[in-house]
Chain A
Amino acid sequence: MTHPEIPGTTLFDGQQAMRGYALNKMCYSFNEAVNRQAFLQDEDAYCAKYSLNPQQREAIRERNVLKLIAAGGNVYYLAKFAGIFGLDVQDIGAQQTGMSKDAFKAMLVEQGKQ
């Protein structure tokens, strides 16, 4: 069955899984505190250890969620990267939609009222 694209949505399929393998593997490592600490101590070295490609390295440097997704990141793993900086799913949502966090929350409220 063919499907029209879902706007603003990247399905994490085999292509994305291959593209983002190194990036997601690094983010998966952030389940462990010692690895989160190692990243913070030397970000370049940590990214090099996981052989991130330039696109992934740049997206990590910018802490840019949409670019991380474009580079193959999966949100379940990216959440562990965001967690290093104390960011929650609202912060991530606000960043991806170009809203302030308050505006993002307000958007959620509106949807609940519809």
Chain B
Amino acid sequence: MANIVGAITTSHVPAIGRAIAKNLQTDPYWKPFFDGWPPVHRWLENVKPDVAVVFYNDHGLNFFLDKMPTFAVGAAPEYPSTDEGWGIPQVPPFEGEQDLSWHLIESLVGDEFDVVSCQEMVVDHAITLPLALMYPSQAWPLKIVPVCINTVQFPLPSAKRCYALGEAVGRAVRAWKSDARVVVLGTGGLSHQLDGERAGFINKDFDLAFMESLLHDPRWATQFDSKQLVEKAGTQGIELLMWLAARAALGERVSAVQSYGGFTESRGVGTNLFNLGVAPSGRNVSETGIVAPAAEGVLAARFGSRSGSGRGPPSFSRSPRQRSSGTVRAARTIAKTMPESNGATLRTRPTPTTAPEPSVKVAP
């Protein structure tokens, strides 16, 4: 049976794509953001996932309003990256894992998630950017199965339903007759709004609470309906549904998290590392999951400007060793603040402990 090795969630800020295309990763303006990824790269190098199941939302590239599925699963041999209309560079196509696609479709429909299947599908920045951040060479070492959740047209699926979808995907992957190592991705968010007089809306408190909930209380956000989530997180912030589904796919085995995060002038960037208590492979807790949050509108704003160049280096702070209740065994937060930030950090609930040092090491 296939093995879920962990989950990565991240924002899919278009400006990141332009920075990658221009090789600005070490530019003082961009460096703090890209410096967050080497720990993810080391994890990927260690775990070597064969397949990524990607929860994402299409932005008017593959789907138009003529046919707008609530949930759609890709079943294509290949997923091309095509012109999105506003200049983001394209990337090499992704190879599809069709056997898993059809297994997922069979399993989900059997589970009463009546998904749309897509044998042709083009993918936009919600897939290309996270994969390009994970694999900067863009020589994709893994196949993908996209799972698209509608965030374009109301009614949207509820957070509760998306969580249940994620759980069903997790069950299906674990039942897939394969020895593949599968990573689950969730891309989008956090709070931002592009449209209306409320454009530019950000809710930092909500973002922090949501990130916290992914570790300690992953169903927390399912108490809100879609309109409440828009009110709290913005019309595009509701992309956090992807994070919920990805987190749900991990199941209850998450035993630890590492995170770093900071708030730029507009939104946060960071990485959380979820650890499984005992991974099915018998490997230790360092080979589990990662959540890399970076909010979109914020980063688009932050990185869309050159005003941040040349500021001081990012500061780091590290919380004490922590221990949490339940299945959460150990957690550490490495907080990384961006230039111009107010130093806000994303923290897990610290509880003094004498537990052994977690085996996870993430260099700042």
Residues of A in contact with B (beta carbons under 8 Å apart): 1, 3, 6-14, 17, 21, 24-25, 27-28, 30-33, 36, 65-66, 69, 74-80, 82-84, 86, 88-90, 92-93, 96-97, 104-105, 107-109, 111-114
Q: With CB as the reference atom, state the residue of chain A lying closest to B225.
A: A1
Cα–Cα distance between A78 and B201 once the two chains are bound (Å)? 19
Q: Known: A76-B60, A79-B86, A96-B195. Is A108-B153 also a contact (CB below 8 A)?
A: no
- B85 in contact with A6 (CB, 8 Å): no
Cα–Cα distance between A108 and B321 once the two chains are bound (Å)? 33
Partner of A112, one of B61, B236, B341: B341
Q: Known: A31-B61, A105-B265. Is A11-B227 also a contact (CB below 8 A)?
A: yes
Residues of B in contact with A (beta carbons under 8 Å apart): 14-15, 59-61, 64-66, 82-87, 152-155, 193-202, 204, 225, 227-228, 230-231, 235-236, 263-267, 297-298, 300-302, 304-305, 307, 340-342, 344
The residues of A that contact B85 with a CB separation of less than 8 Å are 30-32, 36, 79-80, 83-84
Cβ of B115 to closest chain A Cβ, rounded Å: 21
- A74 in contact with B194 (CB, 8 Å): no
The residues of A that contact B263 with a CB separation of less than 8 Å are 112
Residue among B61, B85, B305 having the largest count of chain A Cβ atoms under 10 Å: B85
- A6 in contact with B231 (CB, 8 Å): yes
- A92 in contact with B199 (CB, 8 Å): yes
Cβ of A105 to closest chain B Cβ, rounded Å: 6
Residue among A11, A32, A84, A92 having the largest count of chain B Cβ atoms under 10 Å: A11
Cα–Cα distance between A100 and B162 once the two chains are bound (Å)? 38
The residues of A that contact B86 with a CB separation of less than 8 Å are 79-80, 82-83, 88
- A28 in contact with B64 (CB, 8 Å): yes
Q: How many interface contacts (CB-CB < 8 Å) are there between A and B?
A: 162
Starting from the known contacts A24-B60, A93-B194, A96-B196, 10 additional A-B residue pairs (CB-CB under 8 Å) come to A3-B227, A6-B231, A9-B235, A12-B153, A75-B235, A79-B60, A89-B297, A107-B200, A108-B298, A111-B204
- A9 in contact with B198 (CB, 8 Å): yes
The 8 lowest CB-CB distance pairs between A and B, nearest first, are A83-B86, A8-B198, A8-B197, A80-B85, A109-B265, A108-B266, A75-B195, A93-B199
Q: Chain B binding site: helix, strand, loop or mixed by DSSP?
A: loop
Q: Known: A31-B61, A107-B200. Is A10-B266 also a contact (CB below 8 A)?
A: no
Cβ of B344 to closest chain A Cβ, rounded Å: 8
The residues of A that contact B202 with a CB separation of less than 8 Å are 108, 111-112
Partner of B153, one of A17, A25, A69, A78: A17
Cα–Cα distance between A11 and B229 once the two chains are bound (Å)? 12
Cα–Cα distance between A112 and B153 once the two chains are bound (Å)? 28
The residues of A that contact B59 with a CB separation of less than 8 Å are 76, 79
Cβ of A51 to closest chain B Cβ, rounded Å: 15
Cα–Cα distance between A102 and B59 once the two chains are bound (Å)? 26
Cα–Cα distance between A8 and B230 once the two chains are bound (Å)? 12
Cα–Cα distance between A10 and B305 once the two chains are bound (Å)? 28
Q: With CB as the reference atom, state the residue of chain B lying closest to A69.
A: B195
Q: With CB as the reference atom, state the residue of chain B lying closest to A75.
A: B195
The residues of B that contact A113 with a CB separation of less than 8 Å are 342
Residue among A14, A74, A90, A104 having the largest count of chain B Cβ atoms under 10 Å: A90
Cβ of A47 to closest chain B Cβ, rounded Å: 17
Cβ of A32 to closest chain B Cβ, rounded Å: 6
